[in-house]
A and B are shown apart, each in its own frame.
Chain A
Amino acid sequence: GQQVMQIPQYQHVQEGEDFTTYCNSSTTLSNIQWYKQRPGGHPVFLIQLVKSGEVKKQKRLTFQFGEAKKNSSLHITATQTTDVGTYFCAGKWEYGNKLVFGAGTILRVKS
């Protein structure tokens, strides 16, 4: 079936350290989206990647889509306490309209 695997499940970092979460699909994706869910909140859309090898930046966040369109990563430089939450990737495939989410990575930042 269509699945997106996401690692790690948890990450605790010291404020100022970097953070990366990774997503993988066994089949080629059409696009991948990233969402952030604050504790007690709901997922909020961050960005969408569509092109092979695409890299997008939002301030301290860098998003990458692999050349084969099967993997993606989110990297946060110099984490801050406001970065805490769960980061989800979500994939779509060419045939079908489902948006399938990874299990998420919970980020905790120690100040």
Chain B
Amino acid sequence: DGGITQSPKYLFRKEGQNVTLSCEQNLNHDAMYWYRQDPGQGLRLIYYSQIVNDFQKGDIAEGYSVSREKKESFPLTVTSAQKNPTAFYLCASSIRAGLNTEAFFGQGTRLTVV
């Protein structure tokens, strides 16, 4: 059963702690993306990766870090430097990073800082 899986679905973090969100895909897609969703602001791009061992900053990369050591995995770390980390985080993948490719989204992780 192919798809893109995010875990956990809900995550609570104490202020000042780093936390890593998991994103795994078995679609054999080259490109992967992390978005943050806040009410009324749509989806904002945090980081994206076009191929293994390569990634680029999106529009709101500050306070976040990623790695792409394997094609199927693109974990996102929310560091303590992120001032307002409470949000809904969505991971997506596409067959390649070129122009005419649709994005497939995971179910999302809702992160709450307590």
Kindly supply a per-residue 1/0 record for chain B positions 71-114, scoring 1 wherever the CB is within 8 Å of any chain A CB and 0 otherwise: 00000000000000000001010100111101111111000000
Question: Within 8 Å of chain B (Cβ to Cβ): is A92?
Answer: yes
Q: How many residues of B contact A (CB 8 A)?
A: 27
Which B-chain residue is minimally distant from A105 (CB atoms)? B42
Which B-chain residue is minimally distant from A3 (CB atoms)? B59
Known contacts A30-B99, A50-B100, A104-B42: A97-B48 contact under CB 8 Å: yes
Assess the B98–A97 pair: CB atoms within 8 A: yes
Assess the B104–A45 pair: CB atoms within 8 A: yes
Assess the B45–A45 pair: CB atoms within 8 A: no
Complexed CA–CA distance, A42 and B33 (Å): 14
Assess the A101–B105 pair: CB atoms within 8 A: no
Known contacts A98-B58, A99-B45: A42-B108 contact under CB 8 Å: yes
Partner of B42, one of A1, A6, A41, A99: A6
Complexed CA–CA distance, A44 and B102 (Å): 10
Q: How many residues of A contact B (CB 8 A)?
A: 26
Provide the residues of chain B in CB contact with A6, threshold 8 Å. 42
Provide the residues of chain A in CB contact with B107, threshold 8 Å. 41-42
Partner of A101, one of B31, B43, B94, B97: B43
Which B-chain residue is minimally distant from A9 (CB atoms)? B40
What is the distance, in angstroms, from A40's C-beta to the closest C-beta of chain B? 9
Provide the residues of chain B in CB contact with A104, threshold 8 Å. 42-43
Given A50-B99, A101-B43, 6 more A-B residue pairs with CB atoms under 8 Å apart are A6-B42, A43-B92, A43-B105, A48-B100, A50-B100, A97-B50
